[in-house]
Amino acid sequence: MRSSKPLSTQQAAREVSLGALSYLAVDPERIGPFLAESGLSPADLRGAIGSSAFHVALLDYMINRQDLLVAYADEAEIEPGHVVAAREILAHADIGEE
């Protein structure tokens, strides 16, 4: 069942972002273009996960690629708008300080 409850917390927003990362990471054809665009190597990901800028960039990447956004939202059983909401929450929060 698709969740329609709006995101309102930083933790929920981070979960959306981590889910998006997991969605990309399982397929080299999905994660490769993100890594190329971000300039990160696979080894850099672990260190970047604590950075709010990383999460915002990851969600921006998903939002700008509607096919990935819709496919991830379907797999995660969330509305695509939750990804946009998560991006906004994380853009205004310092998740590295939690």
DSSP string, 25-93: HT-HHHHHHHHHHHT--GGGHHHHTT-HHHHHHHHHHHHT-HHHHHHHHHHHTB-HHHHHHHHHHHHTS
Residue 95's pLDDT is 41
What distance in Å separates the CA atoms of residue 50 and residue 96, rounded to the nearest whole number?
A: 5
Range of the structural domain that residue 81 is part of: 10-97
Q: pLDDT (tens digit, 9 = 90+) per residue, 58-97?
A: 999 999 999 999 999 999 999 999 999 999 999 987 644 4
Residue 82 lies in a domain: yes
The number of distinct structural domains making up the chain is 1
Residue 46 lies in a domain: yes
Residue 2's pLDDT is 52
Residue 48 lies in a domain: yes
Mean pLDDT, all residues of the chain:
88
Residue 4 lies in a domain: no
Assess whether pLDDT exceeds 50 at residue 1: no
Tokens 């850099």 — which residue? 44
**Whole-structure pTM value:** 0.83
Residue 2 lies in a domain: no
Retrieve residue 80's tokens.
């695509």
